[in-house]
Structure 1
């Protein structure tokens, strides 16, 4: 568990102070005002600021690991779609100093101690080969928080997210050590049947989970595949 974070501190954060209300300023859209108000009243945002995490998303990984303990003993990790770096911060704090952590994203990510950061499109033709060559050995875990920009069309967003998840799974199957773990973002409804069958074929257990840090109105879920059977 991340130092300083637990359900008790979450409850205290929610109870601390009156709710902040944001007035609509000239030139600011109502949607921007609602987003700002939600940020100012979000206990996860406040706790992320207190603990030095770059985003509230760090707690999604913390909570998933609290429940399933998949980071125990991990020494090689690859984080796909790592911006702004919250998950990398969690990995760097939990994993031993001699561990290898690689993060990749389309946009530049601020330095994280102990992390090798790559600015690259994971879907590029030679991306997988470059990542595999950079690893000192089989990975213990592959994480994917990759997501396309939402179109507002549910079916289109689902298809695009599943395509990213499938690409991440293809990579995971190639680089994971026996017993390894794959964690990836999916949308409400979870993974489609074909993708689930592939994961069940290659992993001992496959689950869907929505950590408390995922907002109630968010359609995101995470698929967690543990116990890689090897190739």
Structure 2
């Protein structure tokens, strides 16, 4: 399937049965140091290192005691939380089935389902202090449509976080190039004391993904705004 190239780079030998796009993806995976590192260290995806790098910069997990992982599949982010804060209660939710993770409660359900918030907080035995979302909407190949779909998902995740977080909590979500739009940033700033964007080194340079990090949830008092 592959052979060594110059500089030790692995190149795909044949494209039989694969599209050129699949060939490029496979070659990129074979040569991705984060993919190899994830396999060596037992993480389910290279995305684990994005959370590790964000945590190193923003200390997201230092005081985390109850954590919600929205769109948990395949589970790399929850693995990071479990390893760095083994005493934390962790619950994940996804439309896709997810193999069990020791110490993590997993629901196969849409997080926008009216039952979801109650199920998650009950499983944590209280409101979370950290809501994580590495979700992205399924792409259709039209950049503007894909951006709108993903940002709509981010807005729903932010609304969910503001409904369930305890005061002082944090919210982290994947956004696209340019970061969260102005309306979402304004809403996050109204509900959190600090809102920043970051692109961790583990995010591929050619990827449009960024992350929005909102810390210091102000609590339900922010919901008292009559103009909301």
Whether TM-score is above 0.5 comes out as yes
Partner Cα separation in structure 2 for residue 127 and residue 112 of structure 1: 20
State how far apart, in whole Å, the 1-side matches of 2:193 and 2:109 are.
Answer: 31
2:159 corresponds, among 159, 170, 173, to 170
- Aligned-pair Cα RMSD in Å: 1.3
Residues 4-31 of structure 1 deviation map (CA, whole Å, 9 limit, x = unaligned): xxxxxxxxxxxxx711111123222221
Check whether the contact 2:105–2:123 (CA below 8 A) recurs between aligned residues.
no
After superposition, the C-alpha distances for 1:123-173 in whole angstroms (9 at most, x for unaligned) are 223323332333311211000112111122222112111111111111111
2:27 paired residue number: 37
The residue aligned with 2:79 is 89
In 2, the alpha carbon distance for the partners of 1:89 and 1:50 equals: 14
Which residue pairs with 2:226 in the alignment? Answer: none
Q: Work out which of the residue numbers 130, 134, 149 in structure 2 matches 1:145.
A: 134
Compute the TM-score of the two structures, normalised by the length of structure 1.
Answer: 0.89
Instruction: Tell whether 2:10 aligns with 1:20.
Output: yes
Quote the Cα distance in structure 1 between the aligned partners of 2:218 and 2:162.
Answer: 9
Q: Does 1:126 align with 2:115?
A: yes
2:117–2:164 Cα contact (<8 Å) kept: no
Quote the residue 1:48 is aligned against: 38
Question: C-alpha displacement at 1:211, in angstroms?
Answer: 0.5
| Cα deviation 1:172-231 (Å, max 9, x = unaligned) | 112112111100011111111111111001111100111111111111111000111111
Secondary structure of the 1:211 match is coil
2:157 match: secondary structure: helix
Counterpart of 1:59? Answer: 49
Distance in 2 (alpha carbons) for counterparts of 1:139 and 1:25: 47
Gaps spanning 5+ residues in structure 2: where? 1-6, 221-228
Aligned length: 214
Shift of 1:96: 3.2
CA distance in 2, matches of 1:216, 1:145: 17
Q: Are the counterparts in 1 of residues 121 and 128 from structure 2 also a CA contact under 8 Å?
A: no
In structure 2, the partner of 1:184 is 173
Asked if structure 2 preserves the Cα contact closer than 8 Å seen for 1:75 and 1:96, the reply is no
Q: Structure 1 unaligned runs (5+)?
A: 1-16
**Distance (Å, rounded) in 1 between the aligned partners of 2:49 and 2:34:** 8
Distance 2:27 2:148 in 1: 31
In 2, the alpha carbon distance for the partners of 1:147 and 1:199 equals 19
- Using structure 2 for the length normalisation, give the TM-score: 0.90
